[in-house]
Every structure is written in C-alpha cells, then in structure tokens.
Structure 1
Amino acid sequence: MLEQESVDGSPVDILVDVTPAPPRPRSRRRLWLTVAAVAVAGATTFGVVFADNFAALGAYRYSAPKEFDGLPLAPEYSHPKRTARANADSGVTDTGYMSRDEQRMASVNVAEQHVFLPSSRIDDAVARLGREGFAFTDLHEVDPGERGGVMKCGRAGFDGGEVTVCVWVDGSMIASLAEGIHGATVDPDTLADRVRAFRLLAEVPS
C-alpha cells in the first residue's frame, strides 16, 4: 500500500496489486531468453559501432512483416525504432515472432544505415555478437538473395541454449535474425532460405 497526498494535503492511501503473474514453463522461457538475447546484444553492438550513421539510409528501409514463416508478430517482444540520441541502442528496431504454442520463436534486430562496403562490416558484427556470449558453430557465408549484400548463418550456443542465427549487411541496414525451436535446432541453410524470403517483405523501398 502506498501513501500519497491529495489536493488539500491530506494523506490518501493507494492500493497496488502486487500479485505476481504465473510463471511460464521454464523450458519455454529459457528458449525465448536465448532467442531474444541476440536482439539485446545486437542492439548494443550495432548501436555503438554505427551510431554516427543512423541518418544515412540506403535504398531500403525496414518494415516488420506481421508474420514470419507462419509465426505471428509478438508485440510484447517487439520494440519500434528508437530515435537517434546518446543511448547505445538508438536507431535500432527489434521484432519478435512466436508460435501460439510458444514452441518456436524468432527475433530480428535491425540497424538502418548506409553501408558502402557490406563485406567489410559483417565479420565485425558477428565477432561482437561472439563477445556478447554467443558461441557460433558451422558459421558460413550464404547467398544473400535478391536484396544483395553479404549474409552469414550458423548455430550459436548461449547460456545453455542453442539458436540458429543469420546476420546480414547490405547498403541499407545491418541485421540479425535468430530462430529457436523447443527441443530441436534449425538447420542454418534452412534458416537462410527463410531469411531471404523475410528480407523481401521487410526491406521496402525507402
């Protein structure tokens, strides 16, 4: 119970409901935390490295689709683009997707900016995610698709869990998409196919 003064100065008691919400099953919660951690790390990484270039957009801008490969948008795990300011995560958009049974999840992190040489930036983006705690395995370059640029995909262990991650850089943005399935791991080349289709929907003419 909190106490607050009324207009005339007399104390007024305010009741606050502090009943905790029922916890999600631990296994699902761990899976989502692992997937979402890529976005958190990406927000810090991309924001710090490329803070000076947020205003320089290329041919495309990011517009989050309402669905990713059958997964509906999860507003509670999505954050619209932050406006440029001193914060490290300025100019970054996070988008979450989750199946209705919460068994499959995806998280997208995008920093919109103009990149003259995508091939010179992708290794640094991957390396910085590694320093945030993601241990990549079988990471390899894949066909980036019609939107161009450079893209690499592979599995990544994080805090006892494992997700599959694709990182791409093109003339308009630096981004990552992580997907996790409870009790299974997505093949990196399968995720690459999904990401190429996602980029056609998400990267719209600016």
Structure 2
Amino acid sequence: MAHTLPDLPYAQDALAPHISAETLNFHHGKHHASYVSKMNKAIEGTDKESLSLEDLVLKADSEGDQGLFNNAAQTWNHTFYWNSMKPKGGGAPSGDLADRIDRDFGSLEGFKNAFSEAGAGQFGSGWAWLIVKDGKLAVRKTLNADTPLTEAGAVPLLTMDVWEHAYYLDYQNKRPDYIETFLDKVVNWDFAAENLANSGQ
C-alpha cells in the first residue's frame, strides 16, 4: 500500500509571518511530496510495501539501502517537523517536560543554547533534535536525512529542519535568525510533552 503525503496540521499561512505560506508551499508541497513519491516508487512491488513508515526507515538503514533510507527518513522527519511547530507557539513548556529540561539542561535557556548551537553548527543540511534516552533529555544534530529513529533507545521529542529550503525564502542565509524565531514563536511544546509522556522514559 502506497504511503501518502500527510496534510499540514494547520493552514499553509498559519505560521506567518515567522514562516511564510510560500515557504510551506514549496517545503511541504514540493520537497516533502517528492520524498514520498520517490519512496513509494522504490518499494512498489516489494515486500516493503506493507511496512509502516518507521519500520521502513529502520529496514532501509539496516540493509544499507541509502536511496530508500534518504527518502523514507526525510518523509518521516518532515512529518515530525510540521508537528513540532504550531501557530502562536513558543513560550515555555510546562509540567514534566519543563522539570526535565531544568534538570538536564540547567534551565530553559540552557536548552535553547544547546539546541541553537546544534542547529547553527550543523554544517550543510540536516536537523536539530530534542530526544529522550535512558530517561535523560539530550540534544542531537543529524546530517542530511539521518534521524534519531536509528539510535537505539532514543525517542525523538521535537525537531527543527535546518536544510536551506526550510528557511531561505524567509531568512536567506541568516540561519540563526530562523532558529531563534523557531524557538520563540512557533515551537510546539505540547507535541514534545506528548512524545515524552508516550516514551515510557
């Protein structure tokens, strides 16, 4: 069964002016759609057609199928990214997530600094992540299509895309400005908190 491009969880202009409708039109409607299409072509007529998206990512990784991995992981990463943002996001987390951020990063500012450094310090294309592993929150950065899904014991909670197509129409080469806006204006703490609660860690 072919995988489908998921709808955005909000209107295309809902994150404006921080992330424009034009960016989401290209990013979701062209880039994300292309990953889904190429992934479907790669698995058509094979025993991988019946796998869930997460299992497909893990199978492609374990078999060293880089082409399939790139498209399956980018399909998964992007869906996770859309949900990592929301209109009128930002602010501060609450509850268990807030307590754990204070415990593991010293403060919310400590987390923001670590996350911003991961995003700004990722040379070329990639991602910044908040994960939980062995009961502790941590920041990861991954190159190109790589994802914490392939790291044993790691559960992704939140991600930020730092491929240029995620921000160039709105911020040009000012990646740090995009990162700051992501954290202050659109980050979806509720999504991260839900993922933490469901992680069992």
Would you call these one fold, judging by a TM-score over 0.5?
no
TM-score by length of 1: 0.30
Say which structure is richer in helix: 2
TM-score by length of 2: 0.30
Say which structure is richer in strand: 1
Larger radius of gyration: 1
